[in-house]
Structure 1
């Protein structure tokens, strides 16, 4: 006996159903998405010392370290994943496995981001590193198609906020924008490293009409978000969850009255997508002002007040999660039903850095997937 969409209660959407639904992932770091077993194998080949050498134990160590409540400590876990991704073979393998894991999670489109400047220690150029990732993604997509799964994956290239190679990265994005690279990002320590440090790169991207999504509103607040919008001309906000600091909600005669500050109003009214990653936000302390449990995360408040909310895993390895896992949190803690989950996927489809025709195709896939549930 099958279960129809109409029969599913909002607070009882099974994980199996969630995995089968077509999903879109907009905020996912390649160097945070490695399988523990792959890290162990690559570390052994590279002679890199890991804190734990069995895959299960390494996974636990990553999640424990990432869950310290500090973004700085969270970022330290990447020392190990970046260290094992310094050869073309390693980058190809991890990109291919990344696509395999997307397919297993029911993802039909993903925009994977990573910082090529961090993968040149072994002699690779950034151009060679990007080509290796492109090859791995292509192998994964073709293998998925042969197995009957439709998935598309593009790259977002990051420059490190505390580094000095953003102009090089921006030029690489421009050069490869017709070869699967769709946007630019600034990643790394947010507080103290504003987009203004990378003004030349950001102006080049604006002149070339290349999309930008910037990490903002994670480790820093409204000022960082305003800077991402004004200086970076960001079309999406990486995390952006601290936009909630610019929102006041009062109760008047039992009715919630929402008052948006200027920055929050700008973001909501223009539909600027928030790339929210609930588990990661809890781990890094990005939402500590609202609480430390999933039910205190402001994602639901932002969704209910009309923000263009999208949901992604950020770093699958460090957070021990997937897109399905993040949606499951919303089902469990906020009672989201299929209508809510479908809206989140449509939000992501409309915000994807793809031509309109391709976004329309994604929207059709979402419609078919949700309408066909239980058929």
Structure 2
């Protein structure tokens, strides 16, 4: 349905790949023809779980994808609930946030992918986030004595709250939409929530103030996850891996990064996380341009696996946005040119 590959893991440190069939892909050396910009669409009968209730930013991002919007969607109370439903087969796909431009990584998601679950990323979606201060119709700013919302959303509006509502009590909710639902359904006078226009529409609220986030350009990145499968290359892709250090020694991170720099592979995210084994032991989560089917990417991962040993592959998948395809083609062309040069030298052996 989705994959060009299936991936199965025999241990946390390695994956094996079985190619199911994708034009231009070879089992010997993993090569691809020039890719086309094609993203596999999700069939309408597909069950997709997301963090609810209705009106979350997660649902807003999901609805921005026409195929996901037409699928059989199911809201869950939390990110762990979505991931559990996916691993147990209650849903076919899970849709969850992974990072925000202001607050950074969503650790509950990335830790589950890195340490706890064997899931494959199918797609990324980036949503422009506008946070509004919502309340019952007729509410003025000076009427508000309590603000209830998801803690991450509150953290993104600290400056606004400090300046305009310094005396307001801040209460936590499990999501921005849940906070909006409470205010709207319980008709809570003098209580506001930080949420989005979709939640306002669903729960009968109005914007007392719009765009209350502290920084312009706020965005959140979401991942579409499956139990297995690597989508075919589109020509504008990302790959995500977790690299566990073979030894914590000077230059170990530099050695990892050198594999990417030497091949002109652009890293879009690098983050360290404690491995949960011993204090001071960290692994690295990396997102970078390219697809496992690209020669230059497969060569990079091959060397990383050989030198570091413990690599967890999280997926190669269509990247959001439109830039990067030409860079990928140039990198592959340079890699092939260098490989041909080395082969010419090797052909001279024994002459």
TM-score (norm 2): 0.23
Higher helix share: 1
Higher strand share: 2
Is the radius of gyration larger for structure 1 or structure 2?
Answer: 2
TM-score (norm 1): 0.22
